[in-house]
């Protein structure tokens, strides 16, 4: 906690704002962790432990989970400087009543036992939701997700489309699409029909966004009229065709399109699961100019993987009415990057077009410490730039926080009319 009292006061008020988390990987069927292994199994910990020297062996599925946690906490000593380690500490303190200010290898058994105890409560997920003041959790749903068995007002479906755009040439993906929609597409011109079915299904179940992650060299362009790429082999043309058709669906069904730009998959081939992807900074939002021009009614919520691209994101969301600057994604999700990136977004982009933060979490327990990390940075920026720098009242500063963290989630991702 920073010692500045103004910043502290702002933080305390911002921490009262309930959380609407507009992008996560949480499963609505198992939203909270059931044991310490599901906390320490988060790829941030496995990849940092591996980066710091941990071999792959403890990550094998048949490795005893309690022992795996012991191993991970031994390696934690090598990366306890990271902000990811501070999330773990905050989880331990907030949800497990951990009394110390640092976690070391000797705490492994205490943490394991305490986690077993509290996480086995039948209402554990509700406890986490309540203690974290979480109101909405946006999901990342496979396109063939039945979207059933959970409260879609709390767990908001979002259609994730990476499989469609980059793997439609795989027969398995097309079979899943056929099963989900009842439409077998033999050629690409039938795609739109199948996607309409998907979008109908998602919107009917309360979906509020379509989402995709994109590699640095992706450049969406409209399909050439009358030219239809082959379905059965991968090609940039096929990916662009599918992507463009998805944007048309977003327009017709009124869904915002989350673009998470810049990830290169599988760069570190021997990395731990989900710890293999990196990026190439030689990319530009300028690659998306035709898309942004072509779909003025689709709201594109853009995240960039490299903080160096933030100046582009500021400029594009300042100029294009349909481009929204969204959160601090993955490798950009460090307080040092957030502080700089957030400051200039607030200074240059209409406040109605900023999505302050999303957690990207896999388990509910991570939502609070990640949001709190962002809230601390936000409180500092508001104190320095707005209250001290521009003479705003504290109320106005907190209201700005509320808008980018809470109000805008409702206005940018409006709840679709429900036909259920």
- Of 323-352, which residues contact a copy of itself (CB under 8 A)? 331-332, 334-337, 340, 343-344, 346-352
Near a copy of itself by CB under 8 A: residue from 128, 129, 314, 405: 314
The reply on whether position 107 binds a copy of itself by CB under 8 A is no
- Interaction residues for a copy of itself, span 23-62 (CB under 8 A): 47-48, 50-53
Contact predicate 69/40, CB 8 Å: yes
CA distance linking residue 108 with residue 92, whole number of Å:
11
Which tokens is 169 given?
């040439």
* Helix, strand, coil % in the chain, rounded to nearest 5: 50, 10, 40
Total number of residues binding a copy of itself (CB under 8 A)?
Answer: 83
The reply on whether position 269 binds a copy of itself by CB under 8 A is yes
The reply on whether position 406 binds a copy of itself by CB under 8 A is no
Strands annotated E in 139-269: 155-156, 158-160, 209-214, 257-261, 263-264
Alpha helices in 137-190 (DSSP H): 162-167, 171-181
Residue identified by tokens 């000797």 is: 106
- Segment interacting with a copy of itself (CB under 8 A) among 129-137, 158-166, 202-210, 260-268: 260-268
Name which of 30 and 281 has its Cβ closer to a copy of itself.
281
Q: How far is the CB of 34 from a copy of itself (least distance, A)?
A: 28
The reply on whether position 309 binds a copy of itself by CB under 8 A is yes
Residue 65: which of 109, 95, 103 has the closest Cα?
109
The reply on whether position 99 binds a copy of itself by CB under 8 A is no
The reply on whether position 17 binds a copy of itself by CB under 8 A is no
What count of residues does the chain have?
420
Name which of 101 and 233 has its Cβ closer to a copy of itself.
101
- Interaction residues for a copy of itself, span 119-178 (CB under 8 A): none
CA distance linking residue 222 with residue 345, whole number of Å:
30
The reply on whether position 104 binds a copy of itself by CB under 8 A is no
Near a copy of itself by CB under 8 A: residue from 171, 281, 297, 410: 281
CA distance linking residue 90 with residue 361, whole number of Å:
15
CA distance linking residue 322 with residue 297, whole number of Å:
7
């Amino acid at each position: 906690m920073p010692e500045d009292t103004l910043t502290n006061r702002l933080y305390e008020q911002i921490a009262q704002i309930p959380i609407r988390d507009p992008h996560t990987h949480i499963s609505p069927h198992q939203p909270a962790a059931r044991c310490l292994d599901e906390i320490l199994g988060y790829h941030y910990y496995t990849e940092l432990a591996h980066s710091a020297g941990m071999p792959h062996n403890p990550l094998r599925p048949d490795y005893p989970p309690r022992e795996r946690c012991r191993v991970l906490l031994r390696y934690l000593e090598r990366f306890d400087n990271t902000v990811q380690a501070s999330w773990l500490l905050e989880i331990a303190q907030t949800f497990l009543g951990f009394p110390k200010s640092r976690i070391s290898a000797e705490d492994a058994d205490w943490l394991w036992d305490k986690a077993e105890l509290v996480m086995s409560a039948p209402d554990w997920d509700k406890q986490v939701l309540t203690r974290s003041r979480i109101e909405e959790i946006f999901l990342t749903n496979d396109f063939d997700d039945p979207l059933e068995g959970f409260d879609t007002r709390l767990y908001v479906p979002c259609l994730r489309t990476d499989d469609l755009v980059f793997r439609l040439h795989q027969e398995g993906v097309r079979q899943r699409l056929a099963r989900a929609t009842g439409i077998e597409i033999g050629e690409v011109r039938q795609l739109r029909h199948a996607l309409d079915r998907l979008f109908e299904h998602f919107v009917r179940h309360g979906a509020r966004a379509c989402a995709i992650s994109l590699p640095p060299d992706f450049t969406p362009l409209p399909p050439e009229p009358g030219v239809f790429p082959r379905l059965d082999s991968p090609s940039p043309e096929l990916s662009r065709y599918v992507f463009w058709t998805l944007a048309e669906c977003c327009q017709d069904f009124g869904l915002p399109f989350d673009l998470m730009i810049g990830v290169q998959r599988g760069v570190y081939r021997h990395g731990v699961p989900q710890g293999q992807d990196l990026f190439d900074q030689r990319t530009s939002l300028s690659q998306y100019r035709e898309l942004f021009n072509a779909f003025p009614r689709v709201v594109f919520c853009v995240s960039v993987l490299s903080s160096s691209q933030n100046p582009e994101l500021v400029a594009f969301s300042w100029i294009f009415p349909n481009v929204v600057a969204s959160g601090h994604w993955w490798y950009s999700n460090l307080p040092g990057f957030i502080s700089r990136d957030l400051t200039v977004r607030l200074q240059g982009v209409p406040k109605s077009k900023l999505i302050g933060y999303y957690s990207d979490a896999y388990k509910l327990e991570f939502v609070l410490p990640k949001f709190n990390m962002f809230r601390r940075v936000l409180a500092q920026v508001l104190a320095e730039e707005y209250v001290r720098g521009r003479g705003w009242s504290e109320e106005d500063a907190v209201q700005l926080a509320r808008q980018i963290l809470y109000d805008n989630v409702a206005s940018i991702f409006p709840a679709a009319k429900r036909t259920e």
